[in-house]
Chain A
Amino acid sequence: MQIIKDREIVEDNWLHLDDEAELASGNITVSLARWHEQHEMLTQHEGGLGIRLTGDDPLEEIVPDLAYFSLVVLYFPAFVDGRCYSFSRLLRDRYDFKGEIRAQGDVLYDQLFFMSQCGINSFELANPNRLTQAIKAFDDFSESYQATVLRPEPLYRRR
């Protein structure tokens, strides 16, 4: 499957493991529940390790473990559920997470600009047929008034 990562269309090289699925080699993501359950085993995993979070998950609980992950997947059950925008801000600004943050679920063209300003840098679009068009959305606005992850100084300090 193709995704957008850092404004480019790339082949996805991650496997999102169901909680019931057997452990696989290579880059895998697991749910928070599985991470807690198989913590020991997963820390030994040789490929890349990612964690999948939803807006219901207690973000702060995973913070001490962030060093294990090179990918955090934020799940949007509906594009109007904005909780994970705050998750991404916190992961970048407060918890200094440098790895990939990916939006998954109801991820649509029209939310990409705001998502990217909040620090999400890869996107599994709900409609993977319009990726080329979707990349344009990152340039919807040339500026932001606020301090954002991409522009940490608010406009009022740059005017």
Chain B
Amino acid sequence: MYQYDNYDQAMLEQRVAQYRDQTRRFLAGELTEDQFRPLRLMNGLYIQIHAPMYRVAVPYGLLSSKQVRKIADVSRRYDKGYVHFTTRTNFQMNWPKLEDVPDIMAELATVQMHSIQTSGNDIRNTTTDELAGVCANEIEDPRPWCEIIRQWSTFHPEFAYLPRKFKIAVTGIADDRAATQVHDIGLHLVKNHQGEVGFEVLVGGGLGRTPVIGQQIRPFLEKKDLLSYLEAILRVYNRLGRRDNKFKARIKITVREHGINHIRELVEAEWVQIRKQLELDDKEIQRVKQYFTEPDYDATAADEQSFTEMQAHDPAFARWVKQNVVDHKVPGYKIAYISLKAPTSPPGDVTAEQLDVIADLADEFSMGEIRASHTQNLLLSDVKQGDLYALWLRLEAEGLATPNINTLTDIICCPGLDFCGLANATSIPLAKAINERFDDLDYLYDLGDIKIKMSGCMNGCAHQSVGHIGILGVDKKGEEWYQFTLGGSSEADASLGERLGRAIPKEDVVDTVATLLETYKELRLEDEPFLATVRRIGVDPFKERVYADN
């Protein structure tokens, strides 16, 4: 993975010093709350219901074991000994003290971690495919490009005060695991007719109150032009984006109001002017790429077949392999998901003790690296198949081997009313209730790939509008109600879910999920996944069942 040089480290330490001084001035009354707010936000600090919430970046989801141990360490020393992973592969601490944040930052900086631009109206952490570099059929590893974008977007002086937040996601394969079509900019590595690799550029996707699928602004961009094109889009947006209404300030609205063709004209006109100045040279591309070269894989790894025997011998292990392990591009290696969706803890949460174990396991079994996924799980990306059983035993002992990846209980969920100042309704307790109700693994496996995404308010942090089943908390005269949508997807076949009908009271939510599942089981064709069934028959049959009783 990328290693900071003196330039990177110096800028990071200067940022810590800058924020330490800003915090001091705020506490001394030299900065008003209004003046301090945007400054703390661009350093990842929110003020929530119970305490501040501090969000730390995990650039494109990649962590070293050393970093994971440091996360465990700061969560013990400055928080309650656990952290929460988000859909944009960041993690959050829910109970830090405002005055401690500069010290937490300084600790994180010792392992090249930061909270720069994890909130605020600026360019956020760039995300990518959790299987980047290890999945078969990839056009190119997107991670070097993410790092190049990370550097370009960090402290960009022109784009620190955008109309609204700005998120970029990159993917190097047709299977879209990074929800690129619902990002402000989505970049797809593609091959053109001449066989050259470049980027297809999408713009104006987004979730929240007004979910929109991004539109293509350029079918093919040469790699050397990546930064100039991004800069052109950002400059057009910075000038044109609405600043009179924060709910209309995202680039998706700018694109909608001006039309993609007009935006394209403006961007291309801007781009030709700066293209030469910002061209990426081969030396820099190679400099970054050298940090993402393939590790020395063991050519004999595929010879070890004991894990097949162990699956026959131990059905629990077999279930975990089937559900939580996916193929690696190198024979004999596997990718193991560490489920953060155990029935006993909120989705995406992991304790300091678990993090320490995960760091040890990464060192022992997976080249010392850990990845965070868009679905709020972690993964070890380079495990020899012969090591899987030993790995599973250790994960199982820590409650990290729930075999539910991509099942109904692998719920994407925001913190909701329990923690968040914006929320209208709870989400974590409902995720728990769903997890408890559907705890029969055979039933879950029979249902197959079903993605539930649940947000506690229309800001939609859990991306409910692209959930196969989306659940959105709304406030009705002080009571928590839930709006269901069906048929959304954030993958290559991205679509927005369709409303099921009127909102449902909290006490009926789990039953409603059950009714939806039963309806699906009755109406599905052989082996037809949930999403395909919804797309084939529409929401009406589901609606009839759910609202039949009242």
Which residues of A approach B to under 8 Å, CB–CB? 55, 79-83, 85-86, 89, 93-94, 108, 110-111, 113-115, 117-118, 140-148, 152, 154-157, 159
Residues of the A chain whose Cβ atoms lie less than 8 Å from the Cβ of B5:
159
B155 touches A144 (CB 8 A): yes
Asked if B158 and A86 sit within 8 Å, CB to CB, the answer is yes
Would A86 and B239 count as touching, CB distance under 8 A? Answer: yes
Q: How far is the CA of A148 from the CA of B39 in the complex (A)?
A: 21
Tell whether B306 is near chain A: CB-to-CB under 8 Å: no
Task: Check B155 against A145 for contact (C-beta < 8 Å).
Answer: yes
The answer to whether A79 and B161 touch (CB under 8 A), given A143-B10, A159-B284, is yes
Q: Given contacts A85-B160, A118-B157, A159-B284, list 15 more A-B pairs with CB under 8 A.
A: A55-B239, A55-B243, A81-B161, A82-B163, A93-B274, A94-B273, A140-B18, A141-B155, A144-B155, A144-B157, A145-B11, A145-B156, A154-B278, A156-B148, A157-B281
Q: With A82-B159, A82-B161, A83-B238 in contact, is A156–B151 under 8 Å at CB?
A: yes
B121 sits at the interface (CB 8 A): yes
Question: Which of chain B's residues has its CB closest to A137's CB?
Answer: B18
Q: 10 pairs across A/B with beta carbons < 8 Å?
A: A80-B161, A82-B121, A94-B273, A141-B11, A141-B15, A144-B155, A145-B152, A146-B157, A154-B152, A159-B287
Please pick, from A94, A108, A114, the residue contacting B160 in the complex, using a CB distance under 8 A: A114
List of B residues within 8 angstroms of A89 by Cβ: 158, 235
Q: Are A157 and B284 in contact (CB under 8 A)?
A: yes
By DSSP majority rule, is chain A's interface helix, strand, loop, or mixed? loop
Q: Mark B264-298, 1 if CB is under 8 A from A, else 0.
A: 00000000011001101100100100000000000
Q: How many residues of B contact A (CB 8 A)?
A: 39
Q: Is the CB of A82 within 8 A of B160?
A: yes
DSSP class of B's interface residues: helix, strand, loop or mixed?
helix
Contacts of B159 in A (CB 8 A): 82, 85
Q: Inside 8 A of B529's CB, which chain A residues have their CB? A: none
Give the complex CA separation of A80 and B227 in angstroms. 24
Contact call B18/A85, Cβ cutoff below 8 A? no
B151, B161, B277, most chain A CB atoms within 10 A: B161
Give complex CA distance A114, B156 in Å: 8
Whether A114 touches B38, Cβ cut-off 8 Å, given contacts A143-B10, A157-B281, A159-B287, is no
Distance to closest chain B CB from A79 (angstroms): 7
B211-245 vs A, CB cutoff 8 Å, 1 = contact: the mask equals 00000000000000001000000010011000100
Q: Quick check: is B383 within 8 A (CB to CB) of the other chain?
A: no
B287 contacts across to A, CB distance below 8 A: 156, 159
Residues from chain A with a CB closer than 8 A to the CB of B121 are 80, 82
B contact residues around A94 at 8 Å (CB): 273
Report Cα–Cα, A114/B18, bound state, in Å: 13
Q: Which residues of B contact A147 (CB under 8 A)?
A: 277-278
User: Are B157 and A148 in contact, with the CB atoms below 8 A?
Assistant: yes
Inter-chain contact B7/A159, CB cutoff 8 Å: yes
Is B22 positioned at the interface, with any CB of A under 8 Å from its CB?
A: yes
Closest 7 CB pairs of A and B: A82-B161, A117-B157, A114-B157, A156-B284, A145-B151, A85-B158, A141-B14
